[in-house]
Structure 1
């Protein structure tokens, strides 16, 4: 006697389907490809842009100004084609700063177009200066005004 299922049909009336059809596999591969493309196109470039480097330098200059005010001593930033460094004046000589104001090198392809020295006095004031950073024919200027305020300009 042949077994009957709960709905009354024979269990051998339909052959079992095993595996996937070629069309189903192609649809799944296409969906995965579209999703992977969307992820790759939306991922940020891991190399910093010139604007990011300008913002980083501006932030470090603001920190140097704050250090000059809070420490009640002059702080200088020396910027050249290779990178930048910070020094403080203890009344007798200039000494390199460490910690968050330690020397840093520019990432590959970034350089300053001229050597600059920006000195913040204990009140935070400075001589006006413009530091122009260049990378791949793009540039950004970091400006310091007489009051020691730091700003960016494209």
Structure 2
């Protein structure tokens, strides 16, 4: 007759492994997208568009916001020519149409609408003639 043995049975170990696997899958599914959602991308773009408008007013010089499929760039008008400023790239997987809008020295803009798409979700950024920028999710 054998004495009592300490330890776990194979079934108990398998149950623990299944529970750990389920917990890990819940954590992975709950993690946010590392680049943020398309709404966050639209909010970043809108914030930078507002900065371009404010820059045009403060410097009393027109500013242009040019958008393409890879990202967007803010340019300023200096001595009769457009000088490119900083360029911002879209987060991987973000799709956007091309185009441009300008802010004059009073903050008024050429109206423009930008639709961002990523992973089947869309966000719309509208730049109105009065220079206001709105995000619609």
Q: Which bin holds the TM-score, normalised by the shorter protein? A: 0.7 to 0.9
Q: 1:36 to 1:139 in 2, by over 3 A?
A: closer
SS at match of 2:56: helix
How many residues are treated as equivalent by the alignment? Answer: 136
Q: 1:67 to 1:41 in 2, by over 3 A?
A: same
Q: 1:108 to 1:26 in 2, by over 3 A?
A: closer
2:90 equivalent in structure 1: 106
Q: Does 1:130 align with 2:113?
A: yes
From the two aligned structures, give the one with the greater strand fraction. 2
Q: 1:135 & 1:105 partners in 2: Cα distance?
A: 14
Shift of 1:46: 3.1
Q: Which runs of 5+ in 1 are unaligned?
A: 1-13
Counterparts of 1:1-154 in structure 2, within 5 Å, are 15-46=3-34, 48-97=36-85, 102-113=86-97, 115-135=98-118, 138-154=121-137
Q: 2:11 & 2:116 partners in 1: Cα distance?
A: 54
When normalised by structure 2's length, the TM-score is 0.80
The CA RMSD measured in Å over matched residues stands at 2.4
Query: For the Cα contact (< 8 Å) 1:83–1:111, is it kept in 2?
Result: no
Q: Deviations over 1:32-91 (max 9, x none)?
A: 122112212211233544333222211211111121122222111011233211111123
When normalised by structure 1's length, the TM-score is 0.73
Shift of 1:136: 5.3
Moved over 6 A (4+): none
Q: 1:110 to 1:30 in 2, by over 3 A?
A: closer
Shift of 1:145: 1.0
Shift of 1:109: 3.7
Shift of 1:137: 5.4
